[in-house]
Structure 1
């Protein structure tokens, strides 16, 4: 009887492990992309995202590995995110070279008229549903050219965009240690040439996590997180150098961070009216979706009368956008808190007040003319100049730069322009 139970235990354990492995990597290994001969001859590129890394952190704290990386490479004064300056829209803008208006990921949450659902970043089925994601992410563009790609996390990399995912990829799990992510990237670079990824994406949330929790003004906490992350990046730089491969590294962030005291949070319930409209809050921008399109004007006037530390706009007149927004999934009306204020749930405000009414937290999402929202662009490798500094640049322009480095055609429908970034590259002989 004990033997039967033991055998059953082994069988069930094996099934569970198999299931976990399948969920951790959804690729069909029998049909993985392999490098063409032309792709094998191309350079390598690692795209590193440091979520929430504000433009001034390196100058303020001087972490040694990043400081050296920049000194011997290139940097922009800052990286200008797309509005709204939130995580999902901007990561996917970096990946596609398109404004959120065009690639369709308008916020961390938004309503989709086409699907009649609310997209939420916490919903795994939606995050992995490629039909939400427009454009051609850089890993999809590479795959179309028979180039192997890999991703240890990046927005969109888990979704079957145009039916394609990176050759090797991981489902997002924030508990995975940074050193594990770096070790895997280096292992990928040790694969045989035919299987070795020429594009790798990596994602680290450390600075966003600490910035939200303690605000970007907490020098002690920010510096500690930054130096820990810098050590991780130093190991990546060292490991890449030891491969002897022509690897270029681009380091970006999706947005910056600004400080908000508890007293400046606005309860989202103060503007909600479920009978008249659907309200979706991304904190620094609230999308309003009228239930009756003939009542847009009356809803607008209703909300205008409530203005207190926030402003109400019809979507086409909303400040912050680099274009006139026409994507219907924005909703017909936008509510923007004044700079220094932020929408959240009443229960969250009560919790914060109960713990420390004088606390200060970090937030983002505002108009990108506010420099606290700016992120970083650093790069180093054989394709890049040494010691070159360029003015602040929009994140839409990173995609065509990556295409150029990897020798990929640049899609004609993107918003980014290669000419905006060409100054960082060495002259091609």
Structure 2
């Protein structure tokens, strides 16, 4: 024992040396045994081109969109929610909720009691219209430590449970929507948010080709012109991503809110003139009509059946009582839906040359989905799906826990480059085993040192 002590512990400096060595090993081993980091994610940019019908690129030369098919994902088409309008559809995308759950039931903010109606762009900043309990992805991501921004995207300018988007630019009334130079500047701006300010998630909105569709109709040459401009803009986007060094860590989703159809006008057809069938002064208390193919009516008290029966006589019009709406519309549960809902047959309404707001199952209401980036497969053609399923896909890309939603990741996960799960599990099990072994070794070393020190003091 004396010899053993003489060789191992001769002075108090030797004790300190052994203790320092043990502490050093403990620090080293604790660094080596950190668990796998599952929170890493690439950045995400979501771009919406309003009113981009699913087939708009099929009669126009679009080399940049064609290249996206090779370099990323394309869905055959996607189906918007039942109210095929800008605000309701965009809010379904950003919340993953059906319209009856998120409550944005129209482009206009309205109050059927006071007869208040607020125009679409004036509504974009009105939190009382947007904040109905469904959290948009910006806020959900921010609550989990991410940094988010919105550039003109509907809903981005409101507050939700007192929280605002980290950075939100809101489109103003009268703002020009078709300036190609400004489109490119907007791309440069949002990319700088990623590169210079480390944003994680940004949405970008363009008002075309919706404006041209309304003004000229989807079959007008000007619609083809604006699609070519969109294609050039997508080409510029891809060049700018490469220029800014974002190719390997930025995913991009390009989508829209609804399609567009040509409105049938006289003398080709008889227009739907509801006043021919309905005495508005005597029967109607409040109405939201002349906004495409979708409308809502609040009859005067006791006149509900009179209004319903009268509208049922109108041609090219489907009439629903709120409580009788089909379940797959996902509309009837929301208090903002008025007692009588009317949906015109495709192409029938009273305003503009081209319009939307028609039944979501009409092919002219279908829209686009494209995606590319490090987490997306290449040359992948997806089957059609509902736009509500984009939300869980975005959450997956950002590696965050989704808020309650009506979407399903199983619909879209096939378009993702899947991680080698078995390899990850193997690596994790190796690390866990290593850490357990290290902990056992550390305990052994500690016991050995205690034994040595006790022997020294005993002797």
- CA shift, 1:196, in A, is 1.6
- CA shift, 1:378, in A, is 0.5
Q: Secondary structure at the match of 1:95?
A: helix
- CA shift, 1:304, in A, is 2.9
Give the whole-Å Cα distance in 2 for the aligned partners of 1:137 and 1:311. 32
Give the whole-Å Cα distance in 2 for the aligned partners of 1:138 and 1:323. 20
CA distance 1:123–1:69, change in 2 (3 Å)? closer
- CA shift, 1:83, in A, is 0.9
Q: Secondary structure at the match of 1:329?
A: coil
Give the whole-Å Cα distance in 2 for the aligned partners of 1:272 and 1:233. 50
- CA shift, 1:208, in A, is 0.8
The aligned counterpart of 1:327 is 334
The aligned counterpart of 1:30 is none
Partner of residue 203 from structure 1, selected from 198, 202, 205: 205
Worse-matched range after superposition: 196-205 or 177-186: 177-186
8 Å contact kept, 2:292–2:350: yes
Q: How many residues align?
A: 368
Do structure 1's residue 234 and structure 2's residue 229 form an aligned pair? no
Partner of residue 303 from structure 1, selected from 311, 321, 344: 311
The aligned counterpart of 1:215 is 217
8 Å contact kept, 2:109–2:129: no
The aligned counterpart of 1:391 is 383
- CA shift, 1:58, in A, is 2.1
Give the whole-Å Cα distance in 2 for the aligned partners of 1:162 and 1:370. 36
Partner of residue 130 from structure 1, selected from 89, 107, 127: 127
The aligned counterpart of 1:190 is 195
Q: Secondary structure at the match of 1:150?
A: strand
Give the whole-Å Cα distance in 2 for the aligned partners of 1:290 and 1:342. 21
CA distance 1:268–1:180, change in 2 (3 Å)? farther
Give the whole-Å Cα distance in 2 for the aligned partners of 1:387 and 1:119. 46
TM-score of the two chains, using structure 2 as the length reference: 0.75
Q: Secondary structure at the match of 2:320?
A: strand
Partner of residue 272 from structure 2, selected from 261, 266, 270: 266
CA distance 1:269–1:146, change in 2 (3 Å)? farther
8 Å contact kept, 2:68–2:372: yes
8 Å contact kept, 2:99–2:331: no
1:124-153 Cα distance to aligned partner (Å, 9 max, x none): 2x4322232231111111111121111111
Partner of residue 406 from structure 1, selected from 398, 421, 424: 398
1:357-390 Cα distance to aligned partner (Å, 9 max, x none): xxxx211111111111000010000111111111
Q: Which runs of 5+ in 1 are unaligned?
A: 1-37, 349-360
The aligned counterpart of 1:253 is 256
Partner of residue 336 from structure 1, selected from 316, 334, 343: 343
Backbone CA RMSD of aligned residues: 2.3
The aligned counterpart of 1:92 is 91
8 Å contact kept, 1:186–1:236: no
TM-score of the two chains, using structure 1 as the length reference: 0.80
